[in-house]
A and B are shown apart, each in its own frame.
Chain A
Amino acid sequence: MRTSRAAAVAAVTMSLALAATACGGGSSTDGGGSNDSPKTLTYWASNQGASIEVDKKVLQPELDKFEKQTGIEVKLEVVPWSDLLNRILTATTSGQGPDVLNIGNTWSASLQATGALLPWDEKNFTAIGGKDRFVDSALGSTGAEGQDPAAVPLYSMAYALYYNKKMFADAGISKPPATWEELVADGKKLSKDGKWALGVEGSNPSENIHHAVVFAKQHGADFFTADGKPDFTSDEAVEGVKQFVDLMAKDKIIAPGNAEYAQNQSVSDFAKGKTAMLLWQSASANLKSQGMSEDAYGIAPVPVQSGAPGADTGVNSMVMGINMAVFKNTDNIDGAKQFVKFMTSDAEQKILNTAYSTIPPVSGAQSDASFNTPANAVLKDTLAKSAVAAPQVADESQFETAVGTAVKELWADAAAGRPVTTDSVKAALEKAQQQMPTK
């Protein structure tokens, strides 16, 4: 009997232990964060380089430097884009997340609404050297207006037109197109013998949305009203989206196969000389890793409807970029802020943004001579003068999915040779709008 009782006790103990470990391990959820484990940090980095491995190689030496300075060990995980938002949502729901993380800057307002991220108020900004160290355009994509930012800018990017110099010369084109009309005219010269003028990522909702916002804006439309209500079906928005999809449907300067691209195949096509032009953000490092030399391509501003890029209908890119955020329930709040300060310091900004061919959102680093190359000049200029921030509304990420998917379906229509009309575009956007949360 004694043995059996011992066995029973052991069994119960084990089950309780299992139960405890399965649902235990919770950290403080009081919201303010704590300093319970001041010697370690977990950091989720977004995938900025050509691969996760490249990112690790870029970031690890910097993290080692940080450990040497502060004694805080940073555990790095580079999360692919396809998983990042889901991982953040899961972390938010469970309270089991990293201490510091990168977010796509367009998600700022959506994630801000969950209340999981540390708000960057006066006091927190002072801890990392002050808000005025950052450039304004980048700060415009850190959360809803009138609220403390949910994140601080880390890397800035803008769209530009990358063009293959040799293919342009062969077709007798002397300068990159400045308007869409010119782009289509040039495109018709370039699209022949199995080569195509332009590449797009038709099945990637995020890429679609970045262009759709700019095209709509060039026609004078916003996807959200001033008070944050979705407004996807205005005539101008429909016209803008149609013009984008017409590059394949009507103008036939994009290969139909692009409609199913979602793994950056359009970048590979450009690097291999299959397409002559590419609309991309900070593609230099990526193109280099695919073996395209820097002299082989030129960088020009993304075309506009007419005139020169500027404000309002002259915009030609979204303010793209990566923000850095701190999870509110971190157990190393001081260390997390120290780490953000380190990563946004002038010296680190120079190293990191050079490695990723991005623009530093920190004015001190941006003015550095190494960011004055012609390529960077285009990006800097775009960011300063003609970039539009993503809608800073709580439903932004749903908008990206809904409209991005609508445009994806339109590409599918165009690729299959089905007509893309004002009505069909409007119907697609209407459907997207109906999917948006009503509350």
Chain B
Amino acid sequence: MTTTVPAKAEVRENSPGTADGPRRRPGRIRRIGLPYLLLLPALLLELLVHLVPMVIGIAMSFKELTQFYIRDWTTAPWNGLDNYRMSVDFNAPVGEALLHSFLVTVAFTLLSVGLCWLIGTAAAIYMQDTFRGRGLLRALFLVPYALPVYTAVITWVFMFQHDNGLVNHVLHDQLGITDKPSFWLIGDNSFIALLTVSVWKGWPFAFLIVMAGLQNIPKELYEAAALDGAGMWQQLRRITLPSLRPVNQVLVLVLFLWTFNDFNTPYVLFGKTAPEAADLISVHIYQASFVTWNFGTGSAMSVLLLLFLLLVTGGYLWLTSRGRRTADA
């Protein structure tokens, strides 16, 4: 604080003089330069933490970076677009596997985001009315979101186990829904297991955000609507949802990006090699680089993923904000 006060004072003092002539230049440069100088550390760190690794990652995607070169990867030969060509050649095994993983991820993300939003919104709306124990329930709902990912998911791993898991105990032993214990962590059911954990982990966030959004809707709107004879459903459709629109716009985007990129959940749930039915793209790329030691292809896949997400985000924002503008007009 002590630094800014004298600086400001000096600005005021000198301002008439700046127009006078070149004699004052050095002082002016110093003055204009100071904010930039103060920004410099942040800028350097931003470069260091964000941009440099990204640029290096992109550069890596044009190299043949296999185990023979990782020790000094500057010596790895450039191979142009080969890594990309390999990644998107959907007739060859690598591209085919990537496409499969991509489709699994898209299906998973759509379902997970949809369910998270639906459950979160429903819960938030029900929690609007005051009743005994509301605070307790609200806190309880937020627990999955507050738990450390690893702890939460490893608990699910135990519950999903074939022999001693709680899920099979309830579904098979007690309710008798399945005629034999199911496998949840291998085979096709792994998709359901992954989706369950993801929704369980994700919906409290939707709940939290929608709940905050609901506080901003004026009570009068509902009162007026009720006077006009609007029922609960109509109020929801004509007041609540349109008022939540800006909140939902951000919420869905954030949920989408988090879910699409989620690495921790599948990794803790299935380990390094995910079953085919739950082969999410983040783990797939990890496997392409770390398990097969081909970091060039891994980087190329990451860049493709980045481009896809940029495209989706851009398209989404364009669409949703255009829609709002016409609605406003």
* Chain A interfacial positions (CB closer than 8 Å to B): 1, 3-5, 7-8, 11-12, 14-16, 18-19, 22-23, 29, 82, 86, 89, 92-93, 95, 110, 113-116, 202-203, 205, 255-257, 259-260, 262, 394, 397-398, 401-402, 404-405, 408-409, 411-413, 415-416, 431, 434-435, 437, 439
Which residues does chain B contribute within 8 Å of A23, judged by CB atoms? Answer: 48
Which residues does chain B contribute within 8 Å of A437, judged by CB atoms? Answer: 66, 292-294
CB of B186 within 8 A of CB of A259, answer: yes
CB of B67 within 8 A of CB of A19, answer: no
Which residues does chain A contribute within 8 Å of B37, judged by CB atoms? Answer: 8, 11-12
CB of B67 within 8 A of CB of A412, answer: no
8 Å CB interface, B156-194 against A: 161-163, 181, 183, 185-187
CB of A435 within 8 A of CB of B40, answer: no
Given contacts A89-B293, A256-B162, A260-B186, 16 further A-B contacts (CB under 8 A): A3-B2, A3-B3, A4-B6, A5-B30, A14-B41, A18-B41, A18-B44, A18-B48, A93-B70, A115-B71, A255-B163, A259-B183, A397-B293, A413-B187, A431-B93, A434-B94
Q: What CA separation (Å) do A72 and B121 show in the bound complex? A: 63
* Chain B interfacial positions (CB closer than 8 Å to A): 2-4, 6-7, 10, 30, 34, 37-38, 40-42, 44-45, 48, 64, 66-68, 70-73, 92-94, 97, 161-163, 181, 183, 185-187, 271-273, 275-276, 287, 290-294
Given A114-B70, A409-B275, CB of A15 within 8 Å of CB of B45: yes
CB of B186 within 8 A of CB of A113, answer: no
CB of A415 within 8 A of CB of B187, answer: yes
Which residues does chain A contribute within 8 Å of B291, judged by CB atoms? Answer: 398, 401
> Measured between C-beta atoms, what is the minimum distance from B115 to chain A in Å?
25
Q: What CA separation (Å) do A431 and B161 show in the bound complex? A: 28
> Measured between C-beta atoms, what is the minimum distance from B6 to chain A in Å?
6
CB of B185 within 8 A of CB of A11, answer: no
> Measured between C-beta atoms, what is the minimum distance from B156 to chain A in Å?
14
CB of A405 within 8 A of CB of B67, answer: no
Of the candidates B7, B71, B273, the one having the most CB atoms from chain A within 10 angstroms of its own CB is B71
A-B contact pairs, 22 of them (CB 8 A): A3-B2, A7-B38, A11-B41, A12-B40, A12-B41, A14-B41, A18-B44, A86-B290, A92-B70, A93-B70, A115-B68, A202-B186, A203-B185, A256-B183, A260-B183, A260-B186, A398-B292, A398-B293, A404-B273, A411-B186, A434-B92, A437-B293
Given A260-B162, A415-B186, A434-B93, CB of A15 within 8 Å of CB of B40: yes
CB of A11 within 8 A of CB of B94, answer: no
CB of B294 within 8 A of CB of A257, answer: no
The 5 nearest A-B residue pairs measured at CB: A15-B41, A434-B93, A412-B186, A257-B163, A8-B37
Cβ contact of B273, chosen from A22, A92, A205, A431, cutoff 8 A = A205
- Please give me the residue from chain B that is nearest to A23 by CB atom: B48
Of the candidates B30, B272, B291, the one having the most CB atoms from chain A within 10 angstroms of its own CB is B291
> Measured between C-beta atoms, what is the minimum distance from B73 to chain A in Å?
7
Which residues does chain A contribute within 8 Å of B34, judged by CB atoms? Answer: 4, 8
Interface of A is mostly: helix
Q: What CA separation (Å) do A114 and B72 show in the bound complex? A: 9
CB of B48 within 8 A of CB of A416, answer: no
Which residues does chain A contribute within 8 Å of B294, judged by CB atoms? Answer: 437
- Please give me the residue from chain B that is nearest to A402 by CB atom: B292
- Please give me the residue from chain B that is nearest to A204 by CB atom: B271
Which residues does chain B contribute within 8 Å of A431, judged by CB atoms? Answer: 93
Q: What CA separation (Å) do A95 and B64 show in the bound complex? A: 19
> Measured between C-beta atoms, what is the minimum distance from B50 to chain A in Å?
13
Given A114-B70, A116-B71, CB of A4 within 8 Å of CB of B186: no
CB of B186 within 8 A of CB of A203, answer: yes
CB of A110 within 8 A of CB of B67, answer: yes
> Measured between C-beta atoms, what is the minimum distance from B93 to chain A in Å?
4
> Measured between C-beta atoms, what is the minimum distance from A170 to chain B in Å?
23
> Measured between C-beta atoms, what is the minimum distance from B165 to chain A in Å?
10
- Please give me the residue from chain A that is nearest to B31 by CB atom: A1
- Please give me the residue from chain A that is nearest to B33 by CB atom: A8
CB of A11 within 8 A of CB of B293, answer: no
CB of A405 within 8 A of CB of B183, answer: no
> Measured between C-beta atoms, what is the minimum distance from A115 to chain B in Å?
5
Which residues does chain A contribute within 8 Å of B10, judged by CB atoms? Answer: 1
- Please give me the residue from chain A that is nearest to B44 by CB atom: A15
Cβ contact of B6, chosen from A3, A86, A402, A413, cutoff 8 A = A3
CB of B68 within 8 A of CB of A113, answer: yes
Q: What CA separation (Å) do A398 and B66 show in the bound complex? A: 11
> Measured between C-beta atoms, what is the minimum distance from A67 to chain B in Å?
30
- Please give me the residue from chain B that is nearest to A412 by CB atom: B186
> Measured between C-beta atoms, what is the minimum distance from A347 to chain B in Å?
35
CB of A394 within 8 A of CB of B275, answer: no
Which residues does chain A contribute within 8 Å of B161, judged by CB atoms? Answer: 257, 260
Which residues does chain B contribute within 8 Å of A114, judged by CB atoms? Answer: 67-68, 70-71
- Please give me the residue from chain A that is nearest to B187 by CB atom: A412
> Measured between C-beta atoms, what is the minimum distance from A275 to chain B in Å?
12
CB of B290 within 8 A of CB of A1, answer: no
> Measured between C-beta atoms, what is the minimum distance from B91 to chain A in Å?
12
Cβ contact of A416, chosen from B4, B67, B187, B276, cutoff 8 A = B187
- Please give me the residue from chain B that is nearest to A411 by CB atom: B186
CB of A4 within 8 A of CB of B162, answer: no
CB of B70 within 8 A of CB of A18, answer: no
> Measured between C-beta atoms, what is the minimum distance from B56 to chain A in Å?
11
CB of A1 within 8 A of CB of B7, answer: yes
Q: What CA separation (Å) do A12 and B71 show in the bound complex? A: 33
Given A15-B45, A435-B292, CB of A89 within 8 Å of CB of B6: no
CB of B41 within 8 A of CB of A262, answer: no
Which residues does chain B contribute within 8 Å of A415, judged by CB atoms? Answer: 162, 183, 186-187
